[in-house]
Each structure stands twice: as structure tokens, then as C-alpha cells.
Amino acid sequence: MKGILCFGASITYGRGEKPEHGWVGRLHDWYSPQERYNSVWNLGVSGQTIAQLLERFEVEAKARLRLHRPNNTYTILISAGTNNARWVGKPEDKKTLTTDEEFKEQVKTLLKKAKACQAKLAYIGLTPVDEENTIPFDDMSSFTNERVKKHNEMLKQLCKEANIPFLDVFDLLKPEHLADGLHPNSKGYDVMWSRIKPWLEAEDLLP
């Protein structure tokens, strides 16, 4: 078996497109038919933070990594962190869901756990938002590009320090690529996939 585990939140899940398909669905459609036992697992859970992902990471990974079979190979792709960049209420309230230091420590723990798995590992960065639709995003939260970009830069640096491939996609999407200001629409996921696919191949990240 060759398997790709895709961990993250709503953009990994495919929110913004109906039916939900996203970049992981496009990866599945391309990779799974190539060989009989190729598998792609969408492990995105909408709304989750890095701390919440940590609570389930080892259980989810262990359930799929059948390492007792020597010919099995795996890749873990992580794309999470946007929810940690959320403002509670409006930006002017200056209340963040997670402090920068908490975020860094949680990401370090996640990367450590992921590196302990016998699999290739890489991180896909955060996408921009359309602030006209994300300030506020709902009754409880807001998202700004300044804060999402800051978290993206922290992720990039932490991956560099841990020697983990990082794909920066923050410059990729425009407002017309977003369904609700936060989640990509079908065109947005097409654009993401057009960068993710050649990166996976160039970095030799496929199992």
C-alpha cells in the first residue's frame, strides 16, 4: 500500500465547494487510480485549531500507518493554522484565539509527532482571506490577512528549522477564488492544486 494522509481543518476538508472536494479530492482523483493500492485519506475537520488536531493526530495516523508491512510507504501532508489566526470578535477588540507563543509551541509538538511517524512529511501553508467578508466572518470571529500571513510566516520558519518541506500558497488566491471570504471555491481549489501537484512531484513527496 502507498498512502497519503492529509491533516488539517476546513480547507483540507474542502469547505467552500459543493460537494466538498477540495485540493485533497483532486489529489485523490489523480493519485489513487495510478496503482491498485494507492490511498488518499482526507483528515480535515472544519474549525479545528492546531491544539485540537494534536488531540487526534496520533490516533488517526496510527489507524492508517500499517508499518508492519515492509512494502507499505506513506506521506503525511499537514495544512492547518488558519483557525489559530482568528480574532475573537472584531480585530479592534485585540483578543486572539491563540497567542503567538502558544501557536509556535503547538506547531513544534505537532511536527515532532509527525516526524516520529515512518512517513514522508510536508506542510502546505495558509491561504489569504477577503477581508470584506471576514471582518467579521461570523458573530464570534474575524480574520485579517495581516494575522493569517503572520501565522503563515511562523509555520514557514518552524518547518525550515525542522527541515520539513513547506509550500507557500499565501500569494496564490484572489477574492474571486474564495466562496465566502475564507474558503476557496472550485476555481480556488483548482488554483491550489495547480501548485500542489508539481510541488509534490518536484520534492519527491509521493510515497
Segments forming the whole domain that contains residue 156: 2-202
Adjacent-strand bridge partners of 6: 42, 77
What would the pLDDT profile of 56-80 be if each residue is shown by its tens digit?
999 999 999 986 677 899 999 999 9
Asked, for residue 75, whether it belongs to a domain, the answer is yes
Q: Is residue 103 assigned to a domain?
A: yes
Residue 42's pLDDT band (cuts 50, 70, 90): very high
207 domain residue, yes or no: no
Which of 53-57, 63-67, 172-176, 178-182 has the lowest average pLDDT?
63-67
Mean pLDDT computed over 75-95 = 97
Compute the mean pLDDT over every residue in the chain, rounded to the nearest whole number: 96
Give this prediction's pTM. 0.96
Q: Which tens digits make up the pLDDT trace of 140-171?
A: 999 999 999 999 999 999 999 999 999 999 99
Judge whether residue 107 has pLDDT over 80.
yes
Write the CATH number for 129: 3.40.50.1110
10 Å CB burial of residue 65 (0-12, 13-18, 19+) is: middle
Of the chain, the percentage scoring pLDDT greater than 70 comes to 99
171 occurs within a structural domain: yes
Bridge pairing between strands 141-142 and 120-124: unpaired
DSSP 129-174: --HHHHTTSSSSEE--HHHHHHHHHHHHHHHHHTT--EE--TTT--
pLDDT of 201 > 70? The answer is yes
User: What is the count of structural domains for the chain?
Assistant: 1
Residue 128 per-residue DSSP state: P
Q: Is 189 helix (H, G, I), strand (E, B) or coil?
A: helix
Pick from 126, 124, 108: nearest CA to 76: 124
Cα separation, 135 vs 56, in Å, equals 30
pLDDT in tens, 109-119: 999 999 999 99
